[in-house]
């Protein structure tokens, strides 16, 4: 009951801070002319979004960090500061570092007028470095090389040294998948709301109370951002926001050794990522033919006549259903 109180309070605080900051941040971004540049390779009707302020991810980054930090510290005063609390703060730092990479990318796009931002190589080098640092800090805080596998005898499988190699690619891959999902008004925020909601419920089941608070803050921050990002969007989160959210989702799962559940909880992130990989591979193998009308796959559905609202609703529903499946695996596995 007490954990539920902390979670609800944290979510409300994160929501309010995020939503209120948006009231002041959006005019400020307009004043700085920090508008989104819409590339010609995208759907033609997206051109009307040209100039919509980007880097709006700052509003939920501030909300999530403040709400999580205050709630975890206040709760720890009475219940003690343990390894889970350490994992939460390492996870917050990890998300912030990824958000910083996104900010540099956005800054190059908007201020330096280089539409593609950082090169793929530059971004990957930074992301792998941050992921390696995160795994090292988790090890220092007492994390092991186990991952939870439902329906196994002991529930955990030890990967040994291979854990760090595999998880490096899992972290970078999923964070970029979250980034690719940000292409339709309200899509990334809605999917991440449901992902963090079910990670919160799972953390409650397994008794990771500090993780419950962190996940609640992420969910509240996403809702606060949707006040400004739901169609028609008044602001975009930019890579600043999407890379932060990717880091947060990963940190929530990693703190509980629930990496495998990201396959279900992050199903739509993965679908978006693999649609791009399949499109590129098919294009090269067939010398110019396309598997989808456009990738990531949300653009394929757009060009097939789906409205942005329909895409958000369907993708969010799939995330919620798969998230419920992940929760049931934890309860009965």
314 vs 4, 43, 319, CA distance in Å? Answer: 29, 20, 9
Query: Which residues are CB-contacts of 284 (< 8 A; sequence separation ≥ 6)?
Result: none
Element holding 58 (H helix, E strand): helix 57-79
How many Å apart are CA 69 and CA 51, to the nearest integer? 34
How many Å apart are CA 102 and CA 98, to the nearest integer? 6
User: Rounded to the nearest 5°, which phi and psi values hold at 300?
Assistant: -60, -45
User: What is the model's pTM?
Assistant: 0.94
Neighbours of 54 (CB within 10 A): 21
E strands, the chain, in order? 146-148, 156-158
Q: What is the DSSP letter of 233?
A: P
CB 19 within 8 A of CB 68: no
Neighbours of 122 (CB within 10 A): 14
Q: What average pLDDT is seen over the chain?
A: 91
Could you tell me which of 150, 198, 192 has the C-alpha nearest to residue 324?
198
Whether the per-residue pLDDT at 288 is higher than 60: the answer is yes
DSSP 3-state percent helix, strand, coil across the chain (nearest 5):
75, 0, 25
**What pLDDT does residue 38 have?**
56
Rounded average pLDDT over 110-135:
87
- Residues 145-188 pLDDT 10s: 999 887 665 578 899 999 999 999 999 999 999 999 998 999 99
**What pLDDT does residue 34 have?**
74
Could you tell me which of 98, 36, 132 has the C-alpha nearest to residue 249?
98
Reply yes or no: is the peptide bond before residue 232 cis, omega within 30 of 0: yes
- Residues 200-255 pLDDT 10s: 999 999 999 999 999 999 999 999 999 999 989 999 999 999 999 999 999 999 99
**What pLDDT does residue 41 have?**
55
How many Å apart are CA 219 and CA 191, to the nearest integer? 10
Query: Which residues are CB-contacts of 74 (< 8 A; sequence separation ≥ 6)?
Result: none
Classify burial at 164, counting beta carbons within 10 Å of its beta carbon; exposed 0-12, middle 13-18, buried 19 or more: middle
- Residues 243-282 pLDDT 10s: 999 999 999 999 999 999 999 999 999 999 999 999 999 9
- Residues 66-116 pLDDT 10s: 999 999 999 888 777 777 899 999 999 999 999 999 999 998 888 776 666
**What pLDDT does residue 138 have?**
97
**What pLDDT does residue 31 have?**
86
Report strand pairing: 146-148 vs 156-158.
antiparallel
């Amino acid at each position: 009951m007490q954990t539920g109180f902390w979670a609800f309070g944290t979510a409300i605080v994160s929501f309010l801070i995020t939503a209120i900051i948006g009231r002041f941040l959006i005019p400020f971004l307009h004043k700085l002319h920090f508008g989104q540049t819409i590339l010609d390779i995208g759907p033609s009707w997206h051109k009307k979004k040209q100039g919509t302020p980007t880097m709006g991810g700052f509003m939920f980054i501030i909300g999530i960090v403040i709400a999580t930090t205050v709630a975890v510290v206040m709760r720890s005063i009475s219940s003690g500061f343990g390894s889970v609390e350490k994992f939460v703060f390492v996870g917050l730092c990890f998300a912030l570092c990824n958000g910083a990479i996104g900010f540099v990318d956005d800054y190059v796009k908007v201020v330096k007028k280089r539409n593609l931002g950082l090169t793929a190589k530059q971004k990957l080098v930074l992301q792998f470095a941050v992921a390696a640092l995160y795994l090292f800090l988790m090890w220092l805080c007492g994390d092991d090389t186990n991952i939870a596998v439902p329906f196994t005898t002991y529930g955990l499988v030890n990967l040994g040294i291979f854990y760090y190699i595999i998880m490096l690619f899992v972290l970078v891959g999923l964070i970029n998948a979250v980034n690719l999902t940000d292409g339709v008004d309200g899509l990334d925020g809605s999917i991440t709301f449901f992902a963090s909601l079910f990670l919160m419920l799972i953390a409650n089941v397994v008794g990771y109370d500090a993780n419950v608070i962190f996940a609640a803050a992420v969910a509240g921050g996403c809702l606060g951002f949707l006040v400004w990002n739901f169609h028609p969007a008044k602001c975009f989160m930019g890579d600043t926001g999407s890379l932060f959210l990717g880091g947060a989702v990963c940190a929530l799962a990693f703190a509980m050794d629930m990496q495998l559940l990201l396959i279900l909880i992050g199903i739509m992130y993965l679908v978006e990522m693999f649609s791009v990989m399949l499109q590129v591979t098919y294009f090269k193998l067939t010398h110019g033919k396309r598997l989808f009308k456009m990738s990531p796959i949300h653009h394929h559905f757009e060009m097939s006549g789906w409205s942005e609202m329909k895409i958000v609703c369907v993708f969010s529903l799939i995330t919620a259903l798969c998230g419920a499946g992940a929760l049931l695996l934890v309860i009965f596995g």
